[in-house]
């Protein structure tokens, strides 16, 4: 009986693995067409100080599929990375974001706004990443100090010296760097001081329960102390309530991103949403 049940559950496991694999294959081939079919769109979410004023915006990719609906980037970005589609998609994101920024500049909307763009490890590792970025910036005449790139700790798994010199080169052009989802990866602290970083982003998994889980509060507190010790800025992700903001402020973190402050919205709505909050 138990043996039969065991066998059965192995079979079911196989079947569900197959379903997952074929779903993945489907997503990959549909993602391949997504740019041409105009299913990709950029959303922008405000980055705020304690008074709610706007410091910048993070660029967040959205995929609206006619049948599957809104597919989460948490689901399709890993597929794009593994398949190599991230090169084309990643360039598209930088290009669209720069186009939006140059339009806002020309219309003198949200003046001085900085955009923070997520760059995947594989995309950053690509040989021609630097000239590609420079080409896009020139094309839209975007001031280089208007951009920040968000990298995750996974960038530090291999070829660290190469990563550091590439970051330094981009920094010389005026581009800033943040380390995203900080605390979820496995970066060695000795690398951290060698990276030309502007700020650490506290992952939202530590913010979610900060009021009730002492471990999460301790990790947030440690990241905040670490960034101060290294002379870096720090911003908390996923702030959904005033109480979370206050808890973070009590620990010394005064920059925030999250639904409590503002949600990600399309570029067209971003200006209307933030018309009265822009000062920086």
Per CB under 6 A, residues contacting ligand C2E are 45, 60-61, 72-74, 77, 93, 118-120, 150, 180-181, 204, 237-240, 257-259, 264
What does the per-residue mask of binding to Mg ion show for 209-248, with x meaning CB under 5 A? ----------------------------x-----------
Place of tokens 């500049």: 105
Nearest Cα neighbor of 142 from 110, 101, 90, 111 is 101
The secondary structure element, H or E, covering residue 169 is helix 160-172
**Smallest separation (angstroms) from ligand C2E to the CB of 260:** 7
Question: Could you tell me the CA-to-CA distances from 251 to 137, 213, 227 in Å, in that order?
Answer: 37, 15, 12
Q: What is the DSSP letter of 185?
A: S
Shortest gap between Cβ of 258 and ligand C2E (angstroms)? 3
150 binds Mg ion (CB under 5 A): yes
User: Rounded to an integer, what distance in angstroms lies between the CA atom of residue 178 and that of residue 257?
Assistant: 14
Q: Which residues are paired to 200 by β-bridges? A: 179, 234
Q: Do 133 and 99 form a contact (C-beta atoms < 8 A)?
A: no
Pick 13 or 259: Cβ nearer ligand C2E: 259
CB 152 to ligand C2E: min, Å: 7
Yes or no: say if 174 and 143 are a contact pair by the CB < 8 Å rule.
Answer: yes
Site track for Mg ion across 14-53, x = CB under 5 A: ----------------------------------------
Nearer to ligand C2E, 60 or 160 (CB): 60
Euclidean distance between CA atoms 51 and 66, whole angstroms: 40
Query: What would the x/- binding string for Mg ion be over residues 183 to 212, using CB under 5 A?
Result: --------------------x---------
Cβ atoms of 106 and 115 within 8 Å: the answer is: no
- CA-based nearest residue to 257, from 95, 114, 72: 114
User: What is the nearest approach in angstroms of ligand C2E to the Cβ of residue 264?
Assistant: 5
181 binds Mg ion (CB under 5 A): yes
Chain residues that interact with Mg ion, rule: CB under 5 A: 118, 150, 180-181, 203, 237
């Amino acid at each position: 009986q138990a043996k039969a049940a065991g066998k059965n559950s192995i079979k079911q496991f196989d079947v569900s693995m197959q379903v997952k694999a074929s779903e993945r294959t489907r997503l990959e081939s549909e993602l391949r067409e997504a740019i041409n079919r105009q299913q990709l769109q950029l959303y922008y979410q405000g980055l705020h100080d304690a008074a709610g004023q706007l410091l910048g915006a993070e660029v967040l990719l959205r995929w609206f599929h006619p049948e599957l609906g809104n597919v989460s980037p948490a689901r399709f970005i890993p597929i794009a990375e593994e398949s190599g589609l991230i090169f084309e998609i990643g360039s598209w994101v930088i290009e669209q974001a720069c186009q939006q920024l140059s339009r806002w500049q020309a219309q003198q909307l949200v003046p001085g706004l900085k955009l923070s763009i997520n760059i995947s490890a594989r995309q950053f590792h690509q040989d021609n990443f630097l000239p590609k970025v420079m080409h896009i910036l020139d094309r839209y005449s975007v001031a280089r100090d208007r951009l920040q790139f968000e990298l995750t700790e996974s960038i530090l798994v291999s070829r660290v010296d190469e990563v550091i010199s590439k970051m330094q080169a981009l920094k010389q052009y005026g581009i800033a760097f943040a380390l995203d989802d900080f605390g979820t990866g496995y970066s060695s602290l000795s690398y951290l001081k060698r990276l030309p970083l502007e700020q650490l982003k506290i992952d939202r998994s530590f913010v979610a329960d900060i009021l009730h889980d002492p471990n999460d509060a301790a990790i947030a507190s440690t990241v905040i102390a670490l960034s101060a010790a290294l002379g870096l800025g720090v911003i908390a992700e996923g702030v959904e309530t005033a109480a979370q903001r206050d808890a973070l402020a009590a620990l010394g973190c005064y920059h925030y991103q999250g639904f409590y402050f503002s949600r990600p919205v399309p570029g067209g709505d971003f200006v209307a949403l933030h018309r009265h909050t822009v000062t920086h």
